[in-house]
């Protein structure tokens, strides 16, 4: 990885936040696009671009259908819709790494009680682990996508195939972003006191911390941070 630099007035292509979530744990976070869409159109021509477009269109249709489904549907339909919605939330969080595929310069915003060297070491360890994780699941999900075609006999859209296709694309984008972040990205680091306070709220019950977490997210101009923190905090 290229050496970390002191913060300058240059504009970073990507901004990541090192969010403390309790018990010495951290999560990398970046704000997803407002509509939650992937960016398959930015991928170069070829197999991945075609697969990304098809998977994104099919999966987005499946997610929209699941979110607006009739709550009085059958047991199988309700279970499938719940699984689709939960999977959509998990996939959305991969976009932290997706964002790193294109940027040459990135900024890491870390808690101000954490030194720059320590913050950089935590970032490197997390991204390296993510690179191995997504490569492993890319291989697994590619195999599952291959066999998911048998579910074409089930009435309605082949949600299972769309799901695995989108996971294949997502893991590929995440692996690609992690690889670039480790080998090519120029990093700048910035200390943020608000993240220190956020970390201190991690062990409180959700109801007790909710208003303050929302206020911190608003101060940082990160409207989705509160929901992310609730899913990941201790």
Whole-angstrom Cα distance, residue 71 to residue 73? 6
pLDDT digits (tens, 9 = 90+) for 128-142: 999 999 999 999 988
Question: pTM of this prediction?
Answer: 0.73
pLDDT band at 18 (very low <50, low <70, confident <90, very high): very high
Q: What is the pLDDT of residue 154?
A: 44
* Region 178-198 average pLDDT: 96
Which one has a higher pLDDT value, 14 or 47?
A: 14
Which of 136, 137, 135, 106 is CA-nearest to residue 123?
106
* Region 214-234 average pLDDT: 92
Neighbours of 223 (CB within 10 A): 12
* Region 178-205 average pLDDT: 96
pLDDT digits (tens, 9 = 90+) for 77-127: 677 677 777 666 666 667 788 888 887 899 999 999 999 999 999 999 999
pLDDT digits (tens, 9 = 90+) for 56-81: 666 667 667 776 666 766 776 677 67
Assigned token pair, 10: 């240059």
* Region 201-207 average pLDDT: 94
**Most confident range, picked from 4-8, 171-175, 193-197:** 193-197
Q: What is the pLDDT of residue 59?
A: 61
- Whether 160 has a pLDDT exceeding 90, the answer reads no
123, 129, 131, 137: CA torsion to nearest 10: -140
Q: What is the pLDDT of residue 96?
A: 82
Instruction: Tell me the helix, strand and coil percentages in the chain, rounded to 5.
Output: 60, 15, 25
Q: What percent of the chain has pLDDT over 70?
A: 68
Which one has a higher pLDDT value, 22 or 234?
A: 22
In sign, the C-alpha dihedral spanning 86, 87, 91, 92 is negative
- Whether 215 has a pLDDT exceeding 70, the answer reads yes
């Amino acid at each position: 990885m290229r050496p970390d630099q002191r913060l300058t007035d240059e504009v970073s292509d990507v901004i990541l936040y090192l969010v403390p979530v309790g018990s010495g744990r951290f999560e990398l976070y970046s704000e997803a696009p407002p509509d939650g869409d992937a960016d398959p159109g930015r991928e170069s021509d070829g197999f991945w671009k075609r697969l990304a477009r098809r998977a994104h269109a099919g999966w987005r249709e499946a997610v929209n259908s699941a979110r607006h489904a009739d709550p009085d549907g059958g047991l199988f339909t309700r279970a499938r819709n719940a699984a689709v919605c939960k999977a959509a939330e998990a996939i959305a969080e991969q976009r932290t790494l997706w964002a790193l595929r294109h940027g040459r310069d990135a900024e890491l915003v870390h808690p101000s009680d954490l030194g720059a060297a320590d913050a950089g070491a935590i970032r490197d360890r997390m991204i390296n682990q993510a690179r191995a994780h997504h490569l492993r699941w890319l291989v697994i999900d590619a195999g599952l996508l291959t066999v998911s075609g048998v579910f074409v006999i089930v009435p309605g859209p082949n949600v299972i195939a769309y799901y695995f296709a989108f996971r294949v694309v997502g893991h590929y984008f995440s692996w690609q972003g992690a690889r670039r972040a480790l080998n090519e990205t120029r990093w700048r680091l910035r200390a943020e006191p608000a993240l220190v306070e956020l970390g201190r709220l991690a062990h409180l019950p959700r109801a007790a911390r909710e208003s303050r977490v929302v206020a911190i997210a608003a101060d940082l101009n990160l409207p989705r941070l509160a929901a992310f923190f609730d899913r990941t905090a201790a």
